[in-house]
Structures are given as C-alpha cells and as structure tokens.
Structure 1
Amino acid sequence: MSTTEQVQAVEGVRPSKQRGLARYVLILGGLSAFGPLSIDMYLPALPVMTSELGTSDATLQLTLSAFIVGLAIGQIVIGPLSDAIGRRKPLIAGLAIYVVASVLCALSPTAELLIASRALQAVGAAAGIVIARATVRDLFSGIAMTRFFSMLMLVNGLAPILAPIVGGQVLNFTSWRGVFVVLTVFGALLMTVAALFLPEPLPMEHRRPARFGPIMRTYGGLLRDRNFVGYALASGLLFGAVFAYIAGSSFALQDVYQLSPQQYSLVFGLNGIGIVALGQVNGRIVGRFSERALLRFGLGLASVGALGILLATSLHLSLAVVLPPLFLLVSSIGLIMPNATSLAMAEHPRTAGSASALLGVLQFLVGGLATPLVGLGGQGSAVPMAVVMAGFTLAALVAFLTLPNRR
C-alpha cells in the first residue's frame, strides 16, 4: 500500500482534509525530523571538531546538551502560542530562526560560540517539532492518530539513516562546517515549502488566548493527568537512552571499536532502518492490538536490548556482539514513540499545542540530562554509554507500568 493509499485509508480524519494528506505526511515528517537531522548529521565530525576547536570531548558534547535544552525551551513557548494564533505563523518564524542560527554554527570560531549558536538553532527547530505533533492532533483522533504517527516514522526514520551518512560524505569534501551549511539549506527549503503548501489546520473557533494564567493552568492540568505524565515520561526516559546513544556512540564506536566515520554512519543508518520497519509494522497492527499493549511490547524490547548492550560492553565483547542489542534498542523507537505520543495527546484535543510542547519538553529535557552523564564516564570505554542507556530504559518501563491508568 502506497503512502497516499495508507493516508486515505486512515479512519477518523475530517472529510475536508482527505485530499492531499500525503503532502501532510511529507511536510510534517520533515518538520518533526528537524531534531534528528540537526543532531545526527554532525556526529561523525565530533572527534575532528574536538581537535580543530581545541577543546575537550566533554565540552563539545555540550553542543548536544545545548541543542536539547533549546528544544525544550522553544517548545514550551511555541506550543501555547500556536494554540492562540494558529500553527503557521510560529512555524515560519521558527524556521527563519533555524536558518540564521545554522549559518552562525557554520561560522563559529570557538566551541563556546558554537554551543550558543546550537541553542538558538534548537529554538527554531522546536517550532517544527511541536507544531508537527499538534497539527496531527488537529487532524486525527484515536487509532487514526496512532497510524498517522506511525506513517511519520517513514520520514522520521530516514532522518537518522541519511543524516550521519550525509554528514560522513560531506566530511570527504569539506570540513565539519559544511555540515551546518547543508542544514541551512534544508531549513530554508522546508521554510519555503511550509509557507507555500501547508494550510492553517487550527480553526479560529478552536484557538485559546495566549495569557500567562490560562497557559499555566493548562500546563498544571496536564501535569496532574496521570495518563499524560505516565506516557510522556515513558517516551521521555526512552529518549534519554537514545540520546545517551547519540552522545556516546560516535566516540565509542569510532575510538573504542575503531570504526571509520563512514562505517559509523552505516551502523547508525542500519539502526534507523529498524526504526522505519517497526514503525510501519506498528501502523499495520494497531487496532488488532491496543496502543498500550504495543507500547508495553516496545518497552520490553528496549529493555532487553539495553541490558544486552550493558552486558556486552562490561565483558569487553566484540563489536559483533554489541551491535545486535543496540539495533534492538534503537529500533524499538518505531513501536514506542507513535503509541506513547498518541496515548499522551488523546484526551487533549483543544490544547494540542500545549500538550505537544510539554510532551516534547519532558522528552528533550530528559535527553539533555542523559547526554552529559555519558561524558562524565570518559571516552576510553563504551561502558558509561551502556550504563546510562540501561538505566533510562528501565526507568521508562517503570514509569509506564506504574503511572497511567490501565484502561
């Protein structure tokens, strides 16, 4: 079944939105892929950047932490704003910020300026991520929403596949600064496409005033919702494990296991194929199995993979033993994220922007906490990365089992 046929077969979408929904898959997928693209594309260059900028591995990893924190802050502001004035205006403004910040990243002469530019870049990227999720909630409900989030994994999964491969190839022809030039072009292209082809999905009658008091009450209500918090924490803690992988794998696989930048890119891309595959399986079987059952199964797979990585690295086993459980953990994203996102946002159609923002904040703040933890363990071993990944994955499973109502 083609993407267009899958979209048109989804139940629960407004009839007026049936035409051109494949366009939504591509545009919203591109917007939600901003985070993975902006993080993953320069990973093969991290060891080279450390040398050229005259800094330490731990300092350079702050470019990841700054980006993740910037994503969190940007979402918490842009989400309620999009509930008030619509999705398009904050989106276009955010993409413009992203383009400018990407240029600054490419020109940064020091690690400190690069860290600051990455934080600004993340604020712009946050607009794409939070508004993509909110737009899906504007258009869909129930199983249809889960299926659409699964279809977005087609595009989202391509981001971690292509980003490090493109980054590795760019390094064959230019310096690490060329990676940020590519991101600048991508941001400008997506801004143009969104401005021309993405209609406003939020009707005027569904908008809410952007006043501080109501916004805080909305966030307070979300934080008191055990279902929302449970599913958001489950996905957020799993994000922490994934960001530990993102932050540590470049050094662990290249320095410890002696992979070249191109070999590392291929390993990273193979894991991305797993995300795409499980995401599409999820879209086909949701309905036969509940979103909660699929989420539980995905977290179980992730836990098995995380414990396998920890055991393999602790015993100093070969790369051939490390890679299968790593693939299992990363691939589980294809099952976990569509179901957790749909379950978290299901009961909040009138505050989709705020719910999307808080969901993203919990995910990326936890990811921001995980990233420096990997650096604290040093770069001479893959064990610190494995310990952080296992800890966050098991915590995600505990959050899922204890917080949401089992209904």
Structure 2
Amino acid sequence: MWRTILLLASIVALTPLAIDMYLPAMPAIAESLGAHLSVIQGSMSTFLVGFAIGQLIHGPLTDALGRRPIALAGLTIFCASSLLLTFADSSSMFLVLRVFQALGGAAGSVVINATITDRYKGHEAVQVRSTIIMVMTLAPMLAPTLGGGLLHWFGWRSIFAVLTAWSVVTLIWSAASLKESNRNTHALSFSNVRLSYTSVIKQPLLWPWLSGLSLNSAAFFAFLGASPYVYIKVMGISPQHFGFYFAANVVVMTLGAAFNSRLSRLFGAQQVLRTAQKIQITALSLMLLLHLLDLLSLWTLVPLCAIYMGLNSFVFPNATSLLMEKFSEKAGTTSALLGAAQFGTGALSTFLVAQGTDHGASAMIVMMFAGGISAFLLVGVGCRKLNGHS
C-alpha cells in the first residue's frame, strides 16, 4: 500500500512544484525573454486554466481507456513540455509550453483521484488522500526555496530542468509499477464521452458537493493569490520574512493531514468535515469583523488565515472521499469535473482579488468569507442528500 501511496504522491507533487518553483524566478524570466513582468505573471493563470481544461479531457479518457495509459501519456507530455521550457526563447513560447505542462499535469491529478476510488474505500481512502494532502502542502512550502536556490546558482532554466528530471523519474517509476485499477473500460467515442459527462451531471447529489468544494477552492486560491500583497504591502513585512508567516498555514495543514485519518475513523468522515468547516467559518467571521472594525493586525490575520487554510486538510480529503464513493463507476469523469471546477474557480478567484489591490486586504477577506460561508452551506445540503434527506 505504501509503495502505491509514494508513487501517487510523486505524481501529485509535480503540479505544486510546477506552480511554485518558478515564482522567485519570474523577474529573471521576464528579463531574459524580453517581456514585461505581467506577461510572465500571467503564466500562472494560463497554467490554472490549462489544468482545468486538461482534467475535463482526461476524465472520460481514464474511464474509457484506463488509468495507466492516461497517466503515462500525461507524464510524457509534462516531461516534454518541461524540457522544452528550459530552451524557451520567447514569452509566447513560454506561455504556450506552460499550458501543455498543465495539460500533462492534469492527467496525473485525475488518475490519482480515480485510482484511489478504485482501490480504496471508506477510512482507507481518507487515509490515502490525507497522506497525499501532506505532500501537496509540503511541496509548495519547499518549492519556492528550491526554486530560489536554483535561480541563484544555475539560472532560471535549471528550475525546469529539475522538473524535467523529476517527471522522467516518475514516468519510469509509473511505467514499472503503476497497475491498472479500472475494471470497467469501454470503447472510446464522442457519444461515450458525452454520455459519461451527462450521466454524472444529471445526478442531483453532485451539484451541492461540486459547487461547495469549488467555492471553498475560491477562498483557498484567494488567499494564495493575495497573501503576498496583503502581508508585504499592507501589513508591512519584508519579502524575506514572507515565507515564515506563510509557513503557519503549512504547519496547521500538515498537522491536520496527520490527524485526519485517525479522527475520521473514530468519528466518521462527515462529522470531521462539518466540524472543520464550522471552525473555518468562525475564523473567517472573526477576520471579517475585525477588518470592518479596523482592528485587524498582522498578529490576528496570520493565525486566522492559518486556521482556515490549515483545516482544509480535513475538508478536502473527507469531502472528496464522500463524493467519489457515490460516483465510483464514473470516477474519472467525476474527478475531472471536480478538479476542473475547483481550478477554474481558483483561476477566477485569483483574477478577482488581483483587481482589488487598491483596497488593501478587503478583496482577499471578502472573497475568503464569501467562498467559505457558501461552501459551508452547500456542503451541508450535500450531506443531507447523502444521508437521504431532501
């Protein structure tokens, strides 16, 4: 079991590394390619959009052709695009290759979610997802530091060389060890793809969960997109100390992921999920109130954000497991819809909070509160439907 988890974690780590490793190098990339910094910053949004679209493409393919071939194809695309990024000589080439990198990474995300649903049920599924959440929190924490070091010693192109090496190793490992878990493959055709999506979309149970988790992602990405500006420009911390304050979120999330499996086994995934959401809403409400009263400071903002962000280590794995088990026969398609909705909403959220930089922390706080409270209400509806209540 643990060898499979390590392999899945290695695959899932590619996306946060691809998103975060090059962040310190953006000015250097812009200068090297003769582009305005905003153009290179835009590669983050194009990556998220490509990732969302990629999941919609790969989801039905994994249901039709199997998990293994789509995973290997996605890793191959990721390898090739990462390698070509090391030789990019224009901003347009850079942006296009980032989209292809996202399309390749999206295959791994869909396959992982579907494979966990195929192989594990109940508490075991929550345990595996909690372990992978830990990887997804540690990777972003380490990635900017690693990227900064590579930039300093070897230049920005070395960042994509390292991503290439990681993806090559993961591709070889997957080719040797990743077993097919989908026992219900079928012929691939446009009509089958359409039927796969239609059969899932028509299920009333899907929509409160899909909407709730997407809006939760809106709040999540609002913080990721706005926190450097809010912490550095509004709260006045130095850029060198930003990582220290950001690490508070990672610490809480890592601790949550470590305890989630045990708590879900003792109390049930649904109860742990709803309790975590109630605490999140309390933190977001207090943050909004302090902001409205002009009493919000760095020393209240950081822990309140850490509570919200950190407790997602209880929300995401439990909610995903509860939803995916109900759609296990269409796990790939369901995973694709969920991932596309979450990352698509995340891309929109980061765009919206960027428009509010003239209003201090307001845009981030309002988006986090609106997304968090909406997610809480919609997931509550989903839980009632799951329990057989109208």
Q: Structure 1 length as normaliser, TM-score?
A: 0.85
Task: Report what 2:203 is aligned to.
Answer: 225
Taking the aligned partners of 1:233 and 1:131, their CA distance within structure 2 comes to 22
Taking the aligned partners of 1:294 and 1:211, their CA distance within structure 2 comes to 40
Task: Report what 1:3 is aligned to.
Answer: none
> Which of residues 350, 356, 363 in structure 2 aligns to 1:384?
363
Taking the aligned partners of 1:230 and 1:108, their CA distance within structure 2 comes to 42
Q: Against the structure 1 CA distance between its residues 374 and 277, is the aligned structure 2 distance closer, same or farther, given a 3 Å change threshold?
A: same
Shift in Å at residue 403 of structure 1? Answer: 4.3
> Which of residues 95, 115, 130 in structure 2 aligns to 1:135?
115
> Which of residues 366, 371, 377 in structure 2 aligns to 1:398?
377
The CA deviation string for residues 178-228 of structure 1, in whole angstroms up to 9 with x for no partner, is 43333222222211221222222233xx21222222322221222222332
Quick check: 1:119 aligned with 2:99? yes
Asked whether the 8 Å contact 2:287–2:296 carries over to 1, the reply is: no
Cα RMSD for the two superposed structures = 2.5
Shift in Å at residue 51 of structure 1? Answer: 6.7
Task: Report what 2:135 is aligned to.
Answer: 155
Task: Report what 1:300 is aligned to.
Answer: 278
Taking the aligned partners of 1:136 and 1:38, their CA distance within structure 2 comes to 23
Aligned length, in residue pairs:
384
Equivalent residue letter for 2:379: F
Matches within 5 A, 1:5-404: 21-46=1-26, 54-55=35-36, 57=38, 59-203=39-183, 206-311=184-289, 315=294, 317-378=296-357, 381-404=360-383
Asked whether the 8 Å contact 1:234–1:340 carries over to 2, the reply is: no
Q: Against the structure 1 CA distance between its residues 300 and 40, is the aligned structure 2 distance closer, same or farther, given a 3 Å change threshold?
A: farther
After the TM superposition, which of the residue ranges 74-83 and 143-152 deviates more from structure 2? 143-152
Gaps of 5+ in 1: 1-20
Asked whether the 8 Å contact 2:137–2:253 carries over to 1, the reply is: yes
Q: Against the structure 1 CA distance between its residues 258 and 109, is the aligned structure 2 distance closer, same or farther, given a 3 Å change threshold?
A: farther
Asked whether the 8 Å contact 2:256–2:314 carries over to 1, the reply is: yes
After the TM superposition, which of the residue ranges 312-321 and 352-361 deviates more from structure 2? 312-321
Taking the aligned partners of 1:389 and 1:51, their CA distance within structure 2 comes to 34
Q: Percent identity?
A: 31
The CA deviation string for residues 20-73 of structure 1, in whole angstroms up to 9 with x for no partner, is x1011111122223332222223344566667754254x544322211111111
Equivalent residue letter for 1:384: A
Asked whether the 8 Å contact 1:238–1:396 carries over to 2, the reply is: yes
Taking the aligned partners of 1:43 and 1:313, their CA distance within structure 2 comes to 29
Asked whether the 8 Å contact 1:164–1:269 carries over to 2, the reply is: no
Asked whether the 8 Å contact 2:78–2:104 carries over to 1, the reply is: yes
Equivalent residue letter for 2:219: A
